[in-house]
């Protein structure tokens, strides 16, 4: 391994770790949120709405993520996708701190998480490629 490869590896590892942690945290929060909604409402429909709010935008935006990322700054898209996912998580926190979480607010925050996640791995993969 030469010095250039070692430097690239040193730069890659923190980016890889943060992306893995970000994706893991988003997925865990989506699952925990659905479980919490079910525990509070005892409604499988409400729980399914949360899961659908996360996965539907994820699936739809995944079709567009690659071409958008290819036409944009890949590093910027990676940062923006993380920002959108973080905003979704902050939105969830704000809803809970408000003391009266409405289902539509939780659904909106879950949708933001789904959109952010749709762009995270394609942007990360494009940065590597």
Tens digit of pLDDT per residue, the chain (129 long)?
454 555 677 777 887 888 788 778 777 888 888 898 999 899 999 999 999 999 999 999 989 998 999 998 888 888 888 888 888 888 888 888 888 788 898 898 889 888 888 888 888 888 777
pLDDT at 100: 77
Assess contact for 78 and 125: CB atoms under 8 A: no
* DSSP 8-state symbol, 100: S
Nearest Cα residue to 77 out of 16, 33, 121, 13: 121
Nearest Cα residue to 85 out of 16, 29, 14: 29
pLDDT at 1: 47
CA 123 to chain centre: 12
Nearest Cα residue to 88 out of 26, 13, 16: 26
pLDDT at 45: 95
pLDDT at 8: 74
């Amino acid at each position: 391994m030469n010095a250039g490869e070692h430097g690239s590896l040193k730069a890659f590892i923190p980016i890889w770790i943060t992306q893995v942690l970000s994706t893991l945290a988003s997925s865990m929060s989506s699952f925990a949120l659905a479980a919490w909604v079910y525990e509070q409402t005892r409604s499988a429909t409400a729980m399914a709405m949360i899961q659908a709010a996360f996965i539907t935008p994820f699936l739809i935006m995944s079709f567009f993520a690659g071409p958008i990322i290819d036409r944009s700054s890949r590093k910027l898209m990676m940062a923006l996708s993380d920002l959108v996912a973080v905003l979704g998580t902050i939105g969830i926190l704000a809803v809970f701190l408000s003391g009266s979480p409405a289902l539509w607010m939780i659904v909106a925050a879950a949708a933001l998480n789904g959109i952010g996640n749709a762009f995270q791995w394609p942007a990360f993969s494009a940065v590597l490629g």
